């Protein structure tokens, strides 16, 4: 599906809206809600039914709040597609100006019931209004935005605790895609988030806003801006703590388990009346997910109705009724396992968890949601390499967490199709990187405006560029040095918290200084190199005993980019080759001399393995006559 057009969207300007009052749950609903939402009584001036003029909210106001803590009590009623959430959230002002208002967003099908400043007994009801805004951060194409009036401005860097209650229904919706021309069937394949008797699947920001968030409106079809905002939202909140208490009201068989941010917890069911037939039985199933850092992800929530089926080697646990497909997935994993064992160690860190679900796949580390189908193991294996790598290797450094699985996918291609095929795959991917990298200012005192890998939020950086960086490090050091580094690093949680520890480990095992490379390619974004062959000077060596001793080929290379490059320089003659590696700093030239036994036909600089601003292959044809005996 190609989203090449977009309808015009008009944001709501100043308007009249309803000011909501904090309230308790109606008496007739208390039997199905497991938490209280009573925060006291609002002042008479803001009683329900009063109106006020919506204050002007700028994009900077919407992007300044960063959520640093989510403590969620979630109650689901799948039979009615309902969700009710009592949440304590901490918000920090990461903007440059004080905030007089907080703009908080939910899916347009959810309603803000109450908002209080603070938590517990010290909380006080807040004055707020809510209105709809157009944004594709939610599958409905709209969000219900609460504008909270703060009693005093929230200074830059300051934080505020809020206690909120919201509720509503979440059904499947493909409105945002259909309104830009996507066929309904394809739109439904992409937007499948819902709460229903059959499934509960909520993927978070960029799909469905089932938890409070804050962002400027973004729209599909507006280039890459939508996906960039999803990445920025994840980056801003990667250090947020999360805690979830979940209760699910069920009819019939109780649900089996819940998955929150890829973590699985068994649900504990309590039946209301055990004497009733199973089909008529009602009850509540509960689970709790302890406090943990969110990481680079959007909070997701899935509920499954059956226990997983585990493969014989216990590597995969799949919730599926397509039991005939599971042996093929196990066989595919068995094909991939030797490569993962060679590079990352004999045992995985965790099990690969799969939920069989129609629609486009969703992945969160070693958690995969996709439509399972029976196919040959050799067909399934390539698609499992990335996710299985997550089962072996996990890192809080996003460029490593996603880059290492990308590297292993390239190594799988190399193992099965040869190095040229792997380099070709890498080169095709890095073509998009060349388009994404900004033009770097030429003044020495100015840094680039792109994304360092340690703070990357765009997939083209933390996946594509990260894979290229690891592939280059493999060439600069050695396979063994990189293997040893990955093997040790994956088990060292303390080292993983330091963004420079991976470099130090690799330097230790390779016995090489790598700061020159990490400075330009990891810690900062200096763009890409821009190489060209300045000159090739072949010189025939003196003969000895009437026989030629070969040629000495001098190759001069210029780098007009800002990033340093270390590239292979190869001299060819039929099947005969000789290669030397050459390092060229930004805005400089370097040369190498290669002793070649035959008569050289061609000089090749770079082989596609080092990303460049333009072409990644540079050749010069030589027309030299072989020496006369």
The three-state DSSP-derived secondary structure of 114-141 is EEEECCHHHCEECEEEEEEEECCCCCCC
Beta bridge pairs of residue 369: 355, 362
Average pLDDT, the chain: 88
According to the model, what pLDDT value does residue 448 have? 45
Q: List the structure tokens of 603.
A: 């000089």
Torsion angle defined by CA atoms of residues 401, 402, 405 and 406, in that order, rounded to the nearest 10 degrees: -150
Beta bridge pairs of residue 154: 99
**Looking at the predicted structure, is the pLDDT value of residue 353 above 50?**
yes
CB 377 within 8 A of CB 331: yes
Mean pLDDT of 408-415: 98
Using 50, 70 and 90 to split pLDDT, how confident is the model at 574?
Answer: confident
Q: Which CATH number fits domain 531-621: 3.30.420, 2.60.40, 3.40.50, 2.20.28?
A: 2.60.40
Mean pLDDT of 289-303: 97
**Looking at the predicted structure, is the pLDDT value of residue 10 above 80?**
no
CB neighbour class for 412 (10 Å; exposed up to 12, middle 13-18, buried from 19): buried
Place of tokens 């070969």: 550
Question: CATH class for domain 309-392?
Answer: alpha beta
Angstrom distance (rounded) from CA 37 to CA 24: 5
| Residue 311, CA atoms < 13 Å, CB-side half-sphere | 21
Mean pLDDT of 596-607: 93
**Looking at the predicted structure, is the pLDDT value of residue 66 above 70?**
yes
Domain ranges of the chain: 16-304, 309-392, 399-523, 531-621
Encode pLDDT of 72-121 as tens digits.
999 999 999 999 999 999 999 999 999 999 999 999 999 999 999 998 88
| Residues composing the chain | 629
According to the model, what pLDDT value does residue 121 have? 80
**From the centroid of its chain, how far is CA 278?**
41
Question: CATH class for domain 399-523?
Answer: mainly alpha
CB neighbour class for 149 (10 Å; exposed up to 12, middle 13-18, buried from 19): middle
Encode pLDDT of 140-186 as tens digits.
999 999 999 999 999 999 999 999 999 999 999 999 999 999 999 99
| Percent of the chain as helix, strand, coil, to the nearest 5 | 30, 30, 40
Encode pLDDT of 268-281 as tens digits.
999 877 666 766 78
Q: List the structure tokens of 127.
A: 């004055």
Can you list the pairs that 281-285 forms with residues at least 24 positions away whose Cβ atoms lie under 8 Å? Answer: 281/251, 281/252, 282/249, 282/250, 282/251, 283/249, 283/250, 283/254, 284/34, 284/247, 284/248, 284/249, 284/250, 285/247, 285/248, 285/250, 285/254, 285/255
Place of tokens 């440059």: 96
Is-above-0.85 flag for pTM? yes
Higher pLDDT, 51 or 448: 448
According to the model, what pLDDT value does residue 348 have? 96
Using 50, 70 and 90 to split pLDDT, how confident is the model at 30?
Answer: very low
**Looking at the predicted structure, is the pLDDT value of residue 15 above 60?**
no
Mean pLDDT of 499-505: 96
Q: List the structure tokens of 510.
A: 């390779």
According to the model, what pLDDT value does residue 385 have? 97
């Amino acid at each position: 599906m190609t989203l090449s057009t977009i309808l015009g969207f008009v944001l709501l300007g100043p308007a009249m809206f309803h000011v909501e009052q904090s309230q308790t749950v109606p008496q007739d609903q208390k039997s199905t809600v497991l938490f209280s939402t009573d925060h006291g009584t609002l002042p008479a001036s803001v009683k329900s039914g009063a109106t006020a003029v919506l204050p002007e909210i700028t994009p900077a106001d919407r992007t300044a709040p960063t959520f640093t803590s989510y403590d969620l009590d979630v109650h689901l009623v799948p039979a009615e597609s309902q969700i009710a959430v009592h949440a304590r959230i901490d918000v920090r002002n990461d903007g440059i100006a004080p905030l007089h208002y907080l703009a908080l967003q939910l899916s347009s099908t959810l309603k803000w019931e109450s908002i209080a400043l603070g938590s517990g007994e010290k909380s006080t009801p807040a004055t707020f209004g809510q209105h709809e805004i157009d944004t594709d951060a939610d599958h409905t194409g709209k969000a219900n935005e609460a504008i909270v009036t703060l009693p005093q401005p929230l200074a830059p860097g300051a934080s505020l605790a809020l206690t909120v209650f919201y509720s509503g229904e979440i059904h499947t919706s493909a409105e945002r895609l259909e309104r830009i021309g996507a066929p309904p069937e394809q739109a439904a394949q992409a937007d499948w988030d819902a709460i229903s008797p059959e499934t509960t699947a909520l993927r978070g920001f960029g799909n469905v806003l089932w938890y409070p968030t804050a962002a400027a409106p973004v729209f599909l079809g507006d280039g890459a801006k939508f996906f960039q905002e999803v990445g920025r939202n994840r980056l801003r909140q990667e250090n947020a703590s999360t805690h979830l208490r979940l209760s699910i009201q069920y009819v019939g068989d109780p649900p089996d388990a819940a998955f929150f941010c890829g973590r699985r917890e068994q649900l504990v069911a309590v039946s209301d009346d055990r004497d009733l037939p199973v089909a008529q039985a009602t009850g509540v199933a509960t689970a709790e997910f302890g406090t943990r850092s969110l990481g680079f992800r959007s909070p997701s929530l899935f509920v499954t109705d059956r226990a997983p089926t585990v493969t014989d080697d216990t590597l995969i646990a799949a919730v599926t009724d397509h039991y005939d497909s599971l042996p093929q997935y196990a066989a595919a994993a068995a094909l991939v396992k030797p490569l993962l064992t060679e590079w990352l160690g004999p045992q995985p860190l965790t099990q690969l968890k799969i939920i069989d679900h129609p629609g486009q796949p969703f992945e969160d580390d070693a958690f995969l949601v996709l439509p399972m189908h029976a196919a040959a193991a050799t067909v399934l294996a390539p698609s499992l390499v990335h996710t299985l790598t997550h089962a072996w290797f996990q890192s809080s450094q996003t460029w490593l967490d996603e880059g290492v699985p990308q590297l292993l996918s390239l190594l799988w291609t190399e193992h099965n199709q040869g190095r040229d095929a792997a380099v070709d795959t890498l080169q095709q991917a890095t073509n998009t990187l060349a388009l994404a990298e900004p033009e770097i200012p030429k003044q020495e005192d100015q840094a680039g405006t792109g994304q360092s890998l340690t703070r990357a939020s765009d997939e083209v950086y933390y996946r594509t560029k990260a894979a290229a960086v690891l592939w280059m490090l493999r060439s600069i050091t050695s396979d063994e040095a990189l293997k040893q580094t990955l093997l040790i690093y994956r088990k060292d949680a303390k080292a993983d918290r330091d963004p420079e520890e991976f470099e130090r480990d690799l330097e230790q095992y390779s016995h090489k200084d790598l700061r020159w490379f990490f400075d330009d390619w990891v810690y900062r974004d200096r763009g890409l190199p821009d190489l060209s062959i300045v000159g090739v000077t072949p010189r025939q060596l003196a003969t000895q005993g009437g026989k030629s001793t070969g040629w000495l080929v001098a190759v001069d290379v210029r780098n007009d980019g800002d990033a340093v490059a270390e590239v292979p320089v190869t001299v060819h003659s039929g099947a005969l080759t000789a290669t030397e590696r050459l390092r060229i700093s930004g805005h400089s030239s370097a040369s190498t001399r290669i002793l070649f036994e035959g008569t050289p036909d061609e000089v090749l600089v770079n082989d596609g393995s080092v990303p460049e601003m333009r072409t990644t292959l540079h050749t010069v044809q030589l027309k030299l006559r072989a020496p006369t005996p």
